[in-house]
Structure 1
Amino acid sequence: MIFSTILIYSCTKLHETAGGNLTSVQVTNDSSATVLLRGVYNSLEYPFTSYLQIFPLADISTDEAIVPTRANNWDDNGIWRDLHQQKWNSTSSIIHDCFNSLSGIVFAATDLLQYNPTAQQQAEARFLRAWAMYWQVDLFDQVPYREPGESVVKAARVRKGMEALDYIISEINAVEPSLPDGPASEANKYAAKTLLMKCYLNKAVYINRLNPVFVAADMDTVISLADEIINSGQYSFSRNYFDNFSPINANALIGKENIFTQQSNPDGNYLVSFAWLFPLDYAQGGFNGFCTLPDFYNKFDTADKRRGTAYSYPNSRPNPGNRVNVGFLIGQQYDLNTDDSLYSGLLPVIYTADVQNIETGSNLEMPGIRPIKYAPDYLNFYPPSPATNNFVYFRLSDVLLMKAEAISRGGIPTNAGIYGNTALALVNAIRTNPSRGVSALTSLSPNDLLDERGRELWWENWRRQDMIRFGKFLLPFQEKDYISDPKYLIFPIPDEQLAVNPNLVQNPGY
């Protein structure tokens, strides 16, 4: 009932648009443009922070995440099973909502451009539009667009594939000089450089998703952009890996790795608290939903602090037993105030590793390792009270891993910062930092690099993209024991959108 209420409350706000009821005569000063720009930022909140749109497509469709059905709980007509088993179709409500939300961001950012923004405001809006367009290319391979002020009665035009990616790259290059150096919660130069890295690293995939051929010149561009970010001196490893996701990660001295984040906002659509509510059991105040799989969990060394640790932070629970409270929760769970064993009714809350798409039996609530990436903000545990954890889009470690991958794919090695000039050195710079505390690798295969991206960036929306780039997405994994049809490398265009826009064409196979 709580989950349904939150969904109903949130969905009432999905179609609001910045500037939709204003005319260019009414919006004539910087303060008005500032309000409209904040509306563009706010339009990113629900699709990214609710874990109900981008995340299901990006992570539940992979070996990293699963949403088991427990009796009638989390069944939702099989929508979560369809995602994990790669059986979705063009009628999926999650796919429909995600496509619409991304299109809404593009519209809000484009709409702002007709209302006299300053050079920096225009640059920020165009960057945010490029960010949404990038996800449209990645997920759907088609990007509807209009020019500022163009009538919404006429069907939006559509850029596809490389035409869309080339436009995104040109936009980022055009606005980057007008973007500020920071803070991370606003569009900035280094967020633009990181997004360009994503574009060039995945360019071969967007040309041919089944058999990408990586070009050395593109890899050199990735490396050059990484060096610009590293040499800026703006970012370094945080004291604790989980500082980057804590309720005080907006403080640049705490979340020192964060390059681009979504700022906490009390408007009701900022729902990063779902990051802990969805996995945790009812006895812990959660909704007993999202889990990871044992094969993914077992990729971590036992000493790896990213796998789980006892984390103390402002307003955290006392945790007298020094129990693991962030990372992957497994085994007996405890009251973090008293250290008493937790019970759900008469059953002890003991999370077990093995998990299935459909759980049955008397103990069906407990299977599944529970991922907690964002340390719970106990002062704002439930929405609509907004958790103060800023939602993370880009981090330094992703930049280092992308540089390592670009070198391994034929790019020319370079020295920048203290991280070394080989793919192995870059990966080990992350692993051996005290905030991770893992021993160095002695060699680095493509599988090692993919696994390291999984260990470092789990639950951050990159797993599907990474598995596609490394040729693993369609292969069998836990609770999906077959090779999937290549059509699932791209999501379908929702039927509703095809009906109203003749410029959209259904993706092959759907």
Structure 2
Amino acid sequence: MKISFKYISYFLLLILGLNMALTSCTSDLDVTPEDDDEFLSEDFFKDPASYKQVLAKLYAGLYVGGNDGDGRPDISGLGGDFSSYLRLLFVTQEFPTDEAIVAWNDDGLPAINGQRWSPSNQFLYGVFSRAFYEISVANEFLRQTTDDKLTARGVDASLKAEIATFRAEVRFLRAFSYYNLMDLFGNVPITTEADPVGFFYPQQKTRAEVFAFIESELKDLDNSMAASKTNEYGRVDKTAAKFLLAQIYLNSKVYTGTERNDEAATLCNEIITSSGYTFANVPYRYLFSADNDRNGAQNEFIFPVISDGNAIRAVGGGMSFILHASIGGKMDAAAQGMNGGWAGIRTRKEFVQLFPDETATGDKRGTFFTTDQTLDIADFGIFANGYAVTKYTNVNSDGTAAQRNDVPDTDFPMYRLSDVYLMYAEATLRGASTGNITTALGYVNKIRERAGNGVISASSLTLDFILDERARELFWECHRRTDLIRFGKFTGGSKIWQWKGGVKNGSATDSYRDLMPIPSTAIQANPTLKQNPGYN
């Protein structure tokens, strides 16, 4: 069953008094109520139902960009479709890499294709703002749910207990946003519920300080989050917190200069052996079908972003964006369960060449549409240049139709157990004393057997192999930029792909582009922010 509060994305909820971390009191993130359907913070929380509604608002923000789906956006200056969190993560994690390229000429997109962005890029402003918007809503929820406030409102003991679980989830979602900000931008401000509401310039922290804050929060949440597999599908539990903690430990050398592979391997082992999440013994395509919340794929989904064609009316956000934008040319939109395509996203030839063939014969994960598509991308503005990708589909795994064909039912797997297998293997190869090579090889081969790609021997299990296997298993799941940076192959010339650097055959790019620039709009609003090196 889909998440029980999925309809909350339509609540016209906008809370006055939020501490908008990046803009203080400027109008860039105006949160003043405009009509009787919106509520001031104190009044709104008098309703016992309000607490779950705000929690749902935070979850909904992962998919939609505003209170009416694509309409009435949360972030001034960007439409609700452009400011969907998942859409913005896809743009920033996939388009600058070998896994994807987009044909559109929207201001800022061609620059992202070629790692040529500037501080004025609207999509970087979008992801920066979306993350801080979510943080601000989280902070206000935490301010409004202290014991003193709940007691003053006469909240009964049973609801208090439920709110305690909500608070833990909200803190996780806040940590998730800080992780994305740390990963993309490096040095960013930290604000919490303890900070004052009103005009002030939040202090920019170093990347290592942001790392330490996230680490502390995630460790503490092990005491308060719902036990693994006990929460509603679509809501996070202790295992999601362990996953994110393992993720930051695996990337610790990038974020702090210090390796933390032992801790990463330990957490991955805990998730694999004792969380209750299990490897989905179903065809790979089931994981990305419209019924992936119930066809067996859900067994390995630790943190899915919920999609529901009837409940979430956001044509331009989330999975609706990913599916619509990846259909074009001679593709049959109906075969993908959709009502049409936007002829935008394809993949680059260097990614296709990671697979044994182009027909998903030697590896079932290599699902490319090649009819009248060229492998070579002579012009990235033409959809027919580059192979299309059919990984995601809005068709049920048994071939029956989804609920609608304009907005998909397909959930997005933000975290899943297969990723944990690969993280464990990588941490072990990087020298984790808590890892075991034989165990790691077994996990990798389990993934490959599901893909029909055959097992490998221990001698083939290298770091370069893991990077390629992560691409084959996790492509278009918003990991590639981070993975390439961890392996030292995102910028520079050690790995080249077409249109990297903005030229057809690809070129080396400057290492400072491992970090995105702090958006110029954010610096205008908070002049204490310092720009990342290389962008001044």
SS at match of 1:394: strand
What is the one-letter code of the residue matched to 2:201? A
Post-superposition offset of 1:477? 1.9
Distance in 1, Cα, partners of 2:225 & 2:32: 21
Whether contact under 8 Å (2:360, 2:367) holds in the other structure is no
Distance 1:273 1:114 in 2: 34
1:241, 1:306 within 8 Å by CA — same for their partners in 2? no
Contact 1:155 1:501 in 2 (8 A): yes
Task: Give a deviation string over 1:415-441, Cα, whole Å, max 9, x none.
Answer: 6xxxx7444333222112xx3111122
Give the CA RMSD over aligned residues. 2.8
Q: CA 1:150/1:238 → structure 2, altered by over 3 Å: closer, same or farther?
A: farther
Secondary structure of 2:302 counterpart: strand
Q: Which residue of 2 aligns with 1:275?
A: 322
Choose from 184, 193, 196 the match for 2:242: 193
> What is the rounded CA distance, in whole Å, between the counterparts of 1:492 and 1:499 in structure 2?
13
Structure 1 pair 134–403 and aligned structure 2 pair: CA distance change class (3 A): same
Preserved contact between residue 202 and residue 469 of structure 1 (Cα < 8 Å): yes
Whether the 8 Å contact between 1:305 and 1:437 is mirrored in structure 2 is no
CA distance in 2, matches of 1:307, 1:458: 17
Which of 246, 265, 268 is matched with 1:226 structurally? Answer: 268
Aligned to 1:96: 125
Q: Spell out the pairing of 1:399-410 with structure 2 (5 A cutoff).
A: 399-410=420-431
Per the TM alignment, residue 29 of structure 1 is displaced from its structure 2 partner at its CA by 5.7
Amino acid at match of 1:405: E
Match of 2:508 in 1: 483
Distance in structure 1 (CA, Å) of the matches to 2:468 and 2:448: 12
| Kept in 1: contact 2:61–2:85 (CA 8 A) | no
How far the C-alpha of 1:494 sits from its partner, in A, is 0.8
Q: 2:453 corresponds to which residue? A: 438
Alignment CA distance shift 1:16-1:109 (3 Å): farther
Distance in 2 of aligned mates of 1:16 and 1:30: 26
- Counterpart Cα distance in 1 of 2:39 and 2:378: 48
Alignment of 1:140-289 (within 5 A): 140-148=185-193, 150-180=196-226, 181-182=228-229, 183-208=232-257, 215=259, 218-232=260-274, 233-251=276-294, 253-264=296-307, 266-269=311-314, 270-281=317-328, 284=332, 285-289=340-344
- How many angstroms does 1:137 deviate by? 0.2
1:298 Cα offset (Å): 1.4
d(CA) in 1 for partners of 2:383, 2:435: 50
Rounded to whole Å, the distance in 2 between the matches of 1:18 and 1:426 is: 51
Query: Hey, what's the Cα distance between the residues in 2 that align with 1:87 and 1:39?
Result: 34
From 47, 55, 62, the equivalent of 2:97 is 62
> Which of 457, 477, 480 in structure 2 is aligned with 1:460?
477
Q: Does 1:105 align with 2:159?
A: no
Cα distance, 1:251 vs. partner? 2.0
The structural deviation recorded for 1:238 is 3.3
Residue 44 (structure 1) aligns with: 62
Superposed displacement of residue 82, structure 1: 1.3
How far the C-alpha of 1:297 sits from its partner, in A, is 0.8
Q: Secondary structure at the match of 1:499?
A: helix
Separation in structure 2 between the aligned mates of residue 392 and residue 413 of structure 1, nearest angstrom: 27
Measured after TM superposition, the shift of residue 28 of structure 1 is: 4.1
TM-score relative to the length of structure 2:
0.76
- Equivalent-residue separation in structure 2 for 1:219 and 1:275 (angstroms): 33
Contact 1:330 1:353 in 2 (8 A): no
Closer, same or farther in 2 for the Cα pair 1:98/1:328, shift >3 Å? same
Aligned residue pairs total 440
- Secondary structure of the corresponding residue to residue 318 of structure 2: coil
Counterpart in 1 of 2:179?
134
Who is 2:78 aligned against? Answer: none
Q: 1 CA distance for matches of 2:291 and 2:261?
A: 35
SS in 2 for 1:287: coil
Identity of aligned residues (%): 30
Distance 1:303 1:83, change over 3 A: closer
Q: What TM-score comes out, normalization by structure 1 length?
A: 0.79
5+ residue gaps, structure 1:
1-12, 69-73, 209-213, 310-325, 333-349
Q: Deviations over 1:299-345 (max 9, x none)?
A: 11239959876xxxxxxxxxxxxxxxx8533333xxxxxxxxxxxxx
2:377 aligns to what? 355
Report the CA distance between 1:267 and its aligned residue. 4.3
Tell whether the 8 Å contact from 1:191 to 1:394 is kept in structure 2 after alignment: yes
Q: Distance in 2 between matches of 1:423 and 1:277?
A: 37
